[in-house]
A and B are shown apart, each in its own frame.
Chain A
């Protein structure tokens, strides 16, 4: 068991991330201290050595993650886990805009609430938000699941492709060409299984799954009025 500490403070970012990447292949856990809301911490990790960050982080924490397991004991700024392919990111606090933007795989778990555009352009993987998600969450999400145990803001699921926004609470308003459906039992079971793994089991939730109406998927002359929605 080798737990090593990387101090952030005002040291050069390049040095900090190089240390994290190098230690990821030797240590059993990396503890990152004094993060001072710095941007771009722990980006582009490929090893699954746990990285625990003690405090708030800025933009793009865990960006381009390809296998890293990151736990932020604080809040995070924009684009946490953006373009993530594999791995897991946990945020104990709140998250800013564009959680998991364009992510392709892995899991992002926000224990607080997430800002607008949560899961924007998502292309796979799962985002679980214990609190609320902001406006335009799921905007143009291709595939994957955005799951909130709280409420969803305005324009939820705007212009979706095949992604889905799962909402246990209330939806303030739906986005263009999206609508809620009652999810099939087997899909609910899969979501509950995922939540169970995070210690969030509760079989009494009333799920709404927001999906695309597919009216904007095609330029269709017989339905040209659909384009007036946007």
Chain B
């Protein structure tokens, strides 16, 4: 006899649909579905962040703004490269005993500049403006860098006396906005960096929100106090490469051919941009997409520019092709966290590296103190990216006089100095393991790629098969 399904159609008084639904906690009045799935929607397209972004845009009527660095998880990762130290076919140096030269010279193009910059280590502090950073933070970076024989860079907001005084060597930045640009400051500088672009937001000018335009910042930038400052991206008096060449001649005339000229590029088309800049500059600073910033439209942080480690080999090739390798120096920046990343950058072809975000971390950025102030701005130590608000709980990216007192300049300078020392030790440890008596002898052959992506993007040989992935 066939089963009579109607007999037990309604055990315990439940309907057919109730039984199909398993009655697993369904909430009356909610649409059909398995309730727990509401917590696990996880569409790869409509993530909770994408949904929240739409809600934010529909409230603000503009793009979102934040500080820090890219959140794009697909950025090529330094961890995808490993060193292949010397073994039987190459001779390592004693990592704990033998010395490894770290001296770094920038701007020594033959016969052009009388005072090239000599640094004791291949790392220096990136250009970050007074305005984005507090005066105390600028001074601490200067003192910390000076202690270990390296330098700082002014950033967009003009030359801060505290930083110039603290920094034995300092590069003065000439941005398109030209805030406070002054002949005397040019002549006080040890180098001049002309900004064509930056890694965090290539193709767009600087941004400093009104909360950080204090009286002093406003005065130095000739701005009304409290405005949301959006800087230009194009320079006011030159457009293309030919004009840039003339502009550089003007700066050389103004400084009597004494100090080197740096050109800073956001990494986008390094093969072409570096080939052009090599014709006119003494040093090229290539800032990858992971470069940090005090404030940027979020979309630019996450969706513009190419990763630092992919830009370096392309830039080095451009220098080789234009015959300027060795004469024009290449500085790489953007997302360099430690000596290991820096060593990889040098091996890929950089002559030096520049650190911004990492230097702020050394100052105390994101350190677990003043927890209630992190909470007030909706974040927590280790996750804070609220530089744009000017409410930095640890006194680094703020113009608030009270918050700024939380950064003690001398101890912070010591932290920066120790961090730079540790980074340098990491670089030399890897260099010596690879048999190099100078950090500048690191080469692509010292690296292997752990993924097809990283090999294809950098030209580094794939681990094991010892061939770059090509197509």
Contacts and interface: CB of A to CB of B under 8 A. Distances in A.
Interface in B347-368: none
A70 to B, nearest CB: 14
Given A121-B177, A219-B228, A221-B59, A85 B246 contact: no
Contacts of B178: 83, 101-102, 121, 123
A162 interface: yes
B410 interface: no
Interface in A95-141: 97-98, 101-102, 104, 117, 120-121, 123-124, 139-140
A224 B60 contact: yes
A43 B186 CA distance: 13
A224 B61 CA distance: 5
A83 B183 contact: yes
B469 interface: no
A44 B182 CA distance: 10
A217 B227 contact: yes
B247 interface: yes
A143 B232 CA distance: 16
Nearest to B221: A142
Interface in B36-65: 59-62, 65
A82 B237 contact: yes
Interface stretch (B248-256, B334-342, B432-440): B248-256
A57 to B, nearest CB: 12
Name the residue in B62, B179, B181, B183 with the highest tally of chain A Cβ atoms < 10 Å from its Cβ: B183
Given A83-B178, A224-B60, A224-B61, A98 B222 contact: no
A66 interface: yes
B228 A221 contact: no
A44 to B, nearest CB: 4
B154 to A, nearest CB: 15
A198 to B, nearest CB: 24
Name the residue in A59, A66, A82, A102 with the highest tally of chain B Cβ atoms < 10 Å from its Cβ: A102
A11 interface: no
Contacts of B236: 79, 82, 98, 101-102, 117, 120-121, 139
B250 A217 contact: no
A217 to B, nearest CB: 4
Given A78-B237, A83-B181, A161-B227, A218 B62 contact: no
B222 A124 contact: yes
Nearest to B254: A44
Contact of B246 (A40, A46, A225): A40
B65 A60 contact: no
A189 to B, nearest CB: 24
Given A43-B253, A82-B237, A121-B178, A142 B222 contact: yes
A74 interface: no
Name the residue in A14, A58, A121 with the highest tally of chain B Cβ atoms < 10 Å from its Cβ: A121
B253 A59 contact: no
B254 A63 contact: yes
B368 to A, nearest CB: 31
Given A97-B237, A101-B236, A43 B254 contact: yes
Contacts of B181: 83, 102, 104
B344 to A, nearest CB: 38
Given A40-B246, A64-B254, A219-B228, 17 more contacts: A14-B257, A40-B253, A44-B253, A60-B237, A63-B250, A78-B238, A79-B237, A83-B178, A83-B183, A101-B178, A104-B180, A120-B236, A121-B177, A123-B179, A123-B180, A218-B227, A227-B62
Interface of B: 59-62, 65, 177-184, 186, 209-210, 221-224, 227-228, 232, 236-238, 243, 246-247, 249-250, 253-254, 256-257
